[in-house]
Amino acid sequence: MKLKKHMDFKPEVATGSLNDIMFFLLLFFLLVATFANPNVIKLMLPKAHSSQTISKKQITLSITSDRKYYIDKRYIPASMLEGELAKIKSNISDVTIVLRADNSLTVQDLVDVLEIGSRLQVKMILATDKKAS
């Protein structure tokens, strides 16, 4: 009597295309990471040791090194800055202006903008980058 040999079944996972899939996932996440914040104006912010976060409605006021003003990525001429901030203050009752100023600006440039905020009675905070220890 002839008996059949018992064959052991060993499952295998085909991993030939796994490298391609991982490459495309890595490429996708790298592209998404670069586009995550595409509308931010590139500035070199001053450094600070401590930081604090705010939870109220905030508007970003960016000042570039050549003294161009942007309110939430929208260019505003210097002569119209106070009027635009007054309009924002009238629309939003408890607004905080996050002042993102390039670190090459003079103190007088910052004081000029802070005076506008003081006249309008708007809370302004200065955005900084964290200092490397």
Does domain 47-130 match CATH 1.20.120.1760? no
The region, left, alpha or beta by phi > 0 then psi within -120 to 50, assigned to residue 131 is: beta
**Residue 96 has what pLDDT?**
86
C-alpha distances in Å from residue 49, one per residue of 24, 31, 102, 132: 39, 31, 18, 8
Residue 27 pLDDT class (50, 70, 90 cuts): very high
Per-residue pLDDT at 39 exceeds 60? no
Please answer whether residues 122 and 85 qualify as being in contact, where contact means their C-beta atoms are separated by less than 8 angstroms.
Answer: yes
**Where along the chain do its domains lie?**
47-130
pTM of the model: 0.58
Give the separation between CA 106 and CA 102, rounded to whole angstroms: 9
pLDDT mean over 20-38? 82
**Residue 10 has what pLDDT?**
82
pLDDT in tens, 55-114: 567 788 999 989 899 988 899 998 999 999 888 888 887 888 888 888 888 889 889 999
Please answer whether residues 86 and 54 qualify as being in contact, where contact means their C-beta atoms are separated by less than 8 angstroms.
Answer: no
Q: What is the DSSP string of 32-46?
A: HHHHSSTTPPP--PP
**Residue 25 has what pLDDT?**
93
